[in-house]
Amino acid sequence: MNIPQLQIAHMVPRVPIIQGGMGVAISLSGLAAAVANAGGIGIISGTGISIDEMIAHIRRAREMTNGKGYIGVNVLFAMNDFAEKIKAAMQEKVDFIISGAGFSRDMYAWGREYGIPVISIVSSAKLAKLAERLGASAVVVEGFEAGGHLGTDRPLFDILPEVIEAVTIPVVAAGGILTGKDVSLAIRMGAVGVQMGTRFVASEECDAPLSFKQKYVDCQEGDTVLVKTTVGLQGRAIRNNFTKVIEGDKKRKIEKCHDCLKNCSYRFCTLESLLMSVNGDVENGLVFAGSRVAEIKEILPVQVIINTIMDEYYAAGIAAEQAF
């Protein structure tokens, strides 16, 4: 079996894997560069860091990949500094921009202005068609199984065929993708590749602290929970003291407002809770993770993770061929 060729705009990676953008400070230059060097496409999350920090990580990732790997930037549409961050990343000539947790029409115009491909994270055929009409180079279809902010209550493999049928641009599958078997199924259904976030958190190169990665490894089946964040969306996280404090409509006092969101419920501070976990307190901060995080059992180098996924992909493909 040959490796399927993922191509989005000028990007032709060796493996059909895009690393998901995870904030705050989970996927920065370290993880993005490692994935790019391993043959995939890396993403720096610009959410929750300053513009200067984001630019520094873009430049560091370029150095770590010798300018040869593909590096993009993800910024949540819900953030107040969305426009400034996107334009700053484009001025740095990143390989692409990707965004979710809301829908921006403006970023396509900025993409044309700077000559940067733009990718939208969508959860329906309707949004995928809109993104294509506005000029998206590709769409990432994210299902209910994903970690972090969710845009749907439907499983990925229910939505994926609808989106593939609705658009002509490349479609990338995301949400609950963990193994090469998942990659094989997504590609057989018509996706050009996959986006994986949770799988790369438990990697040596991930920018998160060891306590955050260990929380993933220690997670058991049933340990994830949905919480309504102050963005107004459901988010999937690992159950801990913090999720108990905010369960239902409970509030947590905000010590200092960062004024980071366009619209905020002020029930608690999503940004502060994410910063707390990335600073080491994984019991009293928010730890986003996908629905299958319990299947991750050890922290490994990114190259080993990708090699394993591709070995599983080949095995799944051979099994599928023999079934016919």
Q: Which of 161, 176, 208 is the last residue of a domain?
A: 208
pLDDT bracket for residue 56 (50, 70, 90): very high
15: tokens are: 């493996």
Claim to verify: residue 58 and residue 108 sit in the same structural domain: yes
Claim to verify: residue 268 and residue 131 sit in the same structural domain: no
At 208-225, the pLDDT tens digits run 999 999 999 999 999 999
Judged against a pLDDT cut of 60, whether residue 324 lies above it is answered with no
Claim to verify: residue 108 and residue 195 sit in the same structural domain: yes
DSSP-based three-state secondary structure for 61: helix
Report d(CA 130, CA 126) in Å as an integer. Answer: 6
Claim to verify: residue 235 and residue 99 sit in the same structural domain: no
Claim to verify: residue 49 and residue 83 sit in the same structural domain: yes
Claim to verify: residue 114 and residue 189 sit in the same structural domain: yes
DSSP-based three-state secondary structure for 44: strand
Q: Is residue 71 part of a domain?
A: yes
Global pTM value? 0.95
Is the CB of residue 107 less than 8 Å from the CB of residue 116?
no
Q: What is the mean pLDDT of the chain?
A: 94
Claim to verify: residue 27 and residue 152 sit in the same structural domain: yes
Q: Is residue 9 part of a domain?
A: no
Q: Is residue 12 part of a domain?
A: no
Closest CA to 290 of 149, 121, 139: 149
Claim to verify: residue 134 and residue 110 sit in the same structural domain: yes
Is the CB of residue 292 less than 8 Å from the CB of residue 198?
yes
Q: Is residue 187 part of a domain?
A: yes
Claim to verify: residue 184 and residue 246 sit in the same structural domain: no
303: tokens are: 């190259």
**Helix 82-91 vs helix 51-64: crossing angle, to nearest 10:** 30
- Sheet containing strand 148-149, edge to edge, reads 148-149, 234-238, 224-228
Is the CB of residue 29 less than 8 Å from the CB of residue 72?
no
Claim to verify: residue 108 and residue 173 sit in the same structural domain: yes
pLDDT, greater one: 230 or 142: 142
> Residue 96 is part of a domain; what is its CATH number?
3.20.20.70
Claim to verify: residue 201 and residue 214 sit in the same structural domain: no
Judged against a pLDDT cut of 80, whether residue 66 lies above it is answered with yes
Instruction: Show the domain range for 43.
Output: 17-208
Count how many domains the chain has.
2
CB atoms within 10 A of CB 158: 11
Query: For strand 118-122 and strand 96-99, is the pairing parallel, antiparallel, or unpaired?
Result: parallel
Is the CB of residue 121 less than 8 Å from the CB of residue 140?
yes
Q: Is residue 144 part of a domain?
A: yes
Question: Given this model, what pLDDT does residue 255 score?
Answer: 82
Taking the alpha carbons at both ends of the chain, their separation in whole angstroms is 15
Q: Percentage of residues in the chain with pLDDT exceeding 90?
A: 84
Report d(CA 130, CA 196) in Å as an integer. Answer: 24
Closest CA to 292 of 132, 168, 174, 151: 174
Q: Is residue 262 part of a domain?
A: yes
Is the CB of residue 145 less than 8 Å from the CB of residue 290?
yes
Q: Is 31 exposed, middle or buried (0-12, 13-18, 19+ CB in 10 A)?
A: buried
Claim to verify: residue 177 and residue 141 sit in the same structural domain: yes
DSSP-based three-state secondary structure for 90: helix
DSSP-based three-state secondary structure for 20: coil
Judged by phi (left if over 0) then psi (alpha if -120 to 50, else beta), residue 252 lies in beta
50: tokens are: 């300053």
Q: Is residue 321 part of a domain?
A: no
Identity of the residue numbered 68: K
At 246-283, the pLDDT tens digits run 998 888 888 888 888 788 888 999 999 999 999 999 99
